[in-house]
């Protein structure tokens, strides 16, 4: 310790040797490979304080970049508590926040008015629509949303309209619109979010004296979550780095899970070559999790090939084994989770110290239903409860109009969603007309003409088409016929919303099953003669309203935390449940789609990193669960357990149950299920095999039987293999064995 300045030794107390080495680095660039729970925020903050207190740099000479405003605030609060200085003037913030600061300071050089306004995503879309209207552009051929993606995609890659890849009539027109949009923004003195970073990058790139000024000023640049940087952000950082600047990049390539946002994991390896020159400090001691959890995480992530490499360890001991639950169905899985949560809570673990994780938002619905039914308070972290999500509320509004067209709230919500060219002025006139005659908006629309009358006809057509359909099928028809499904199919970020809409169909199928096989009894014989579906719909809408009610815990109340794995990054909990560990769900089917081998590998490695993040959220107890059958699109589907379960070391696992074959819920027997009644009841056939049974094949690997036909020597089975897809096999030749 004698090598350190006497007056500042207190800063280094309670730091492990690697943390201390990172904090006290001399004036040189370095990559800090900081594993989950290794104290990276503490290291980053202490490094800044150490540099200032030891007189190596003034607060003025530090540039610290974070990814969220929350992280920037936390960093400044910590610095303030350790240093007797005003941190207000320090350049600590997000990429966009610091880019905005740079442009405000040098607005003239950047070609912007002093009071330029920032457009959020919705403002930007409105500006694009206004531009396209003025240019008389066909919005069906050139959808405003796609124009927005084109513009932002190029900006985030550092390309202006003149540099855009334009190789046909369509892309050339898109580039023209990008150029016209830029000109409009310049005229109006506004900048969208991607513009902030691109404009500030261009400013520094072109203006050598200004670039020199900042390179001389910032002696130390520190970057948090470096693995999440995209190509432009890295290029932007490099412009601030002069020959005498030390860059301190903190990150974990194993936790890079934002490739879909443009994050480039290769930036870490590139940084090591360009700046660190092999000066890498690994923070591997974990202060969060017990040993078995870390062993599982280490073993899993070792399957990834493109890693910088590290191995988490703890001084805390092995702790409890990881609990594996093999559920018959998604409802069985949800019941198990609820039972375990209640048991842990009775043992003294706060609900808020437990997290329920899932790969996609749509999975929350079954879990929410089980929690609601058991009166367990919960909170959806970083998102909305299922029935509060935008796309679900849209679909419910269409359903409400089917049962009660006088519902003005439902009418206004969807009359122009998806867009039908019905403007605000038209709706004002419609409302005036309705008010004058004391009628509903629906009545006014039906007696009027034009596009609002067209909307009323659409609702009537949907009503007629769904009159004789079971509830789940009717809702599926509404989602398609209303245009909601097509709208989200063409939306760049619509995949999750589509999954949620499919889950609404599942909710209806389950509701029908729980409501006496889909028939809601009525004591009135006159009503009993009528089609039950309308009453089923009313009852379902009431059910949705109740589940969307006040059950989610309010702020400050103890509540179970529900979230996607992406939302869980950076958080930790006493007990963590990772659900839906099935092939196609986690890893997500999109990641394993056949394409180039490189694309396939990258997609799977990203999913594995996501699983690694999920595992490392747990401090003491970890549950992993999967379901043999799950309802998807209103139909029962059978799945194989996730390959990630196979990649965990057996010695740290405790199997709570082992099941050879699934039970079949009553809904499987319904005619609209994915497999016909005939085939589901053939489980006692002469082949010795059953639907839902796991089997192994010498060439295709492991799979699950999903269908079969024929008997004796002619018997064939349809097997869904984990890696080889779905295949029909003749049993006489296939040589299958139970798996």
Whether 40 sits among the annotated catalytic residues: the reply is yes
Whether 314 sits among the annotated catalytic residues: the reply is no
pLDDT at 6: 59
Whether 583 sits among the annotated catalytic residues: the reply is no
In the block, tokens 């990054």 appear at: 569
Identified catalytic residue from 617, 619, 621, 630: 617
Pairing relationship of beta strands 246-251 and 220-223 according to DSSP bridges: parallel
pLDDT, mean of each 10-residue run, the chain (739 residues): 60 91 95 94 94 92 90 89 84 91 93 86 88 89 91 93 89 95 91 93 96 96 94 95 95 90 87 93 96 97 91 95 94 95 96 96 91 91 82 91 84 87 83 82 82 89 89 91 90 84 87 58 35 66 70 71 93 96 90 59 90 97 95 78 95 81 39 31 55 81 80 77 80 79
Identified catalytic residue from 225, 326, 547, 707: 225
Q: Which stretches does DSSP call E strand in 538-673?
A: 560-564, 573-578, 618-632, 635-638, 653-655
Whether 122 sits among the annotated catalytic residues: the reply is no
* DSSP, residue by residue, 708-722: EE--GGG-EEEEEET
pLDDT at 594: 54
State residue 223 phi and psi, 5-degree precision: -125, 125
pLDDT at 593: 66
Number of Cβ within 10 Å of residue 618's Cβ equals 30
pLDDT at 549: 57
Identified catalytic residue from 233, 255, 552, 682: 255
State residue 702 phi and psi, 5-degree precision: -90, 150
pLDDT at 672: 31
Whether 46 sits among the annotated catalytic residues: the reply is no
User: Which of left, alpha, beta for 725 (phi over 0: left; psi -120 to 50: alpha)?
Assistant: left
Closest CA to 87 of 99, 95, 76, 101: 76
State residue 633 phi and psi, 5-degree precision: 55, 35
Identified catalytic residue from 41, 184, 303, 429: 41
Whether 388 sits among the annotated catalytic residues: the reply is no
pLDDT at 674: 31
230, 262 Cβ separation under 8 angstroms: yes
Identified catalytic residue from 40, 78, 389, 637: 40
Identified catalytic residue from 156, 195, 224, 473: 224
Closest CA to 453 of 438, 435, 433: 433
561, 352 Cβ separation under 8 angstroms: yes
Interhelix angle 450-466/390-403, rounded to 10 degrees, is 80
681-689 contacts, C-beta under 8 A, 24 or more apart: 682/708, 685/711, 685/715, 686/711, 686/712, 686/715, 687/711, 687/715, 687/717, 687/731, 689/717, 689/731, 689/736
Stated pTM of the model: 0.79
């Amino acid at each position: 310790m004698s090598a350190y300045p006497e007056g500042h030794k207190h800063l280094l107390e309670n730091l492990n040797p690697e943390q201390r080495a990172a904090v006290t680095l001399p004036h040189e660039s370095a990559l800090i490979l900081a594993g989950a729970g290794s104290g990276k925020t503490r290291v980053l903050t202490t490094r800044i304080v150490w540099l200032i207190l030891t007189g190596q740099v003034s607060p003025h000479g530090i540039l610290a970049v974070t990814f969220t405003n929350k992280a920037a605030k936390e960093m400044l609060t910590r610095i303030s508590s350790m240093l007797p200085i005003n941190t207000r003037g320090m350049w600590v913030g997000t990429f966009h926040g610091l880019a905005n600061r740079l442009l405000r300071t040098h607005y003239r050089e950047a070609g912007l008015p002093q009071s330029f306004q920032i457009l959020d995503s919705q403002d930007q879309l409105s500006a694009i629509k206004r531009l396209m209207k003025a240019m008389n552009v066909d919005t069906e051929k050139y959808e405003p949303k796609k124009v927005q993606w084109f513009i932002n995609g190029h900006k985030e890659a550092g390309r202006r309209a003149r540099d855009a890849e334009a190789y046909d009539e369509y892309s050339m027109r898109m580039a023209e619109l990008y150029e016209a949009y830029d000109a409009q923004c310049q005229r109006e003195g506004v900048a969208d979010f991607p513009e902030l970073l691109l404009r500030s990058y261009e400013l520094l790139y072109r203006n050598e004296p200004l670039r020199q000024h900042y390179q001389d000023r910032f002696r130390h640049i520190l970057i948090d979550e470096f693995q999440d940087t995209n190509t432009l952000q890295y290029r932007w950082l490099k412009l601030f780095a002069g020959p005498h600047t030390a860059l301190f990049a903190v990150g974990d390539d194993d936790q890079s899970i934002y490739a879909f946002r443009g994050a480039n994991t290769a930036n870490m390896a590139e940084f090591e070559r360009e700046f660190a020159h092999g000066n890498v400090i690994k923070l591997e001691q974990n202060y969060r999790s017990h040993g078995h959890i870390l062993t599982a995480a280490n073993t899993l992530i070792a399957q990834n090939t493109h890693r910088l490499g590290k191995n988490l360890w703890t001084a805390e001991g092995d702790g409890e084994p990881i609990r594996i639950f093999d559920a018959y169905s998604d409802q069985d899985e949800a019941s198990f989770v609820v039972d375990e949560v209640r048991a842990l809570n009775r043992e003294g673990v706060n609900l808020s110290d437990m997290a329920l994780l899932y790969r996609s938002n749509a999975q929350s619905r079954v879990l929410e239903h089980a929690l609601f039914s058991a009166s367990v308070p919960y909170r959806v972290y970083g998102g909305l409860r299922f029935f509060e999500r935008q796309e679900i509320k849209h679909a419910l509004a269409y359903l409400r109009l089917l049962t009660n067209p006088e519902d003005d709230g439902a009418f206004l919500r969807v009359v122009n969603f998806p867009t039908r060219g019905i403007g605000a002025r038209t709706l004002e006139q419609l409302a005036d007309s309705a008010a004058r005659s004391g009628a509903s908006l629906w009545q006014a629309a039906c007696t009027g003409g034009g596009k609002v009358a067209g909307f009323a006809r659409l609702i009537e057509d949907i009503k007629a088409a769904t009159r004789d359909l079971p509830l789940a099928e009717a809702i599926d028809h509404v989602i398609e016929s209303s245009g909601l499904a097509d709208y989200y199919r063409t939306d760049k970020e619509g995949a999750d919303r589509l999954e949620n809409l499919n889950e609404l169909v599942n909710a209806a199928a389950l509701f029908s099953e729980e409501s006496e096989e889909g028939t809601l009894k009525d004591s009135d014989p006159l009503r009993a003669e009528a089609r039950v579906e309308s009453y089923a719909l009313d009852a379902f809408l009431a059910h949705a309203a109740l589940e969307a009610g006040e059950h989610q815990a309010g702020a400050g109340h103890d509540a179970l935390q529900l979230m996607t794995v992406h939302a869980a990054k950076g958080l930790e909990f006493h007990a963590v449940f990772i659900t839906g560990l099935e092939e196609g769900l986690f890893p997500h089917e999109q990641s394993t789609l056949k394409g180039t081998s490189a694309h396939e590998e990258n997609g799977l490695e990203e999913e594995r990193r996501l699983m690694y993040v999920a595992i490392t959220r747990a401090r003491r107890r970890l549950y992993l669960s999967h379901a043999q059958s799950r309802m998807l699109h209103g139909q029962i589907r059978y799945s194989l357990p996730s390959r990630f379960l196979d990649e965990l070391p057996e010695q740290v696992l405790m199997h709570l149950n082992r099941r050879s074959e699934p039970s079949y819920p009553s809904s499987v027997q319904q005619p609209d299920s994915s497999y016909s009644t005939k085939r589901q009841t053939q489980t006692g056939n002469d082949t010795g095999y059953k639907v839902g049974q796991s089997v192994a094949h010498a060439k295709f690997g492991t799979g699950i039987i999903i269908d079969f036909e024929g008997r004796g020597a002619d018997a064939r089975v349809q097997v869904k293999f984990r890696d080889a897809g779905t295949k029909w096999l003749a049993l006489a030749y296939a040589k299958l064995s139970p798996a």
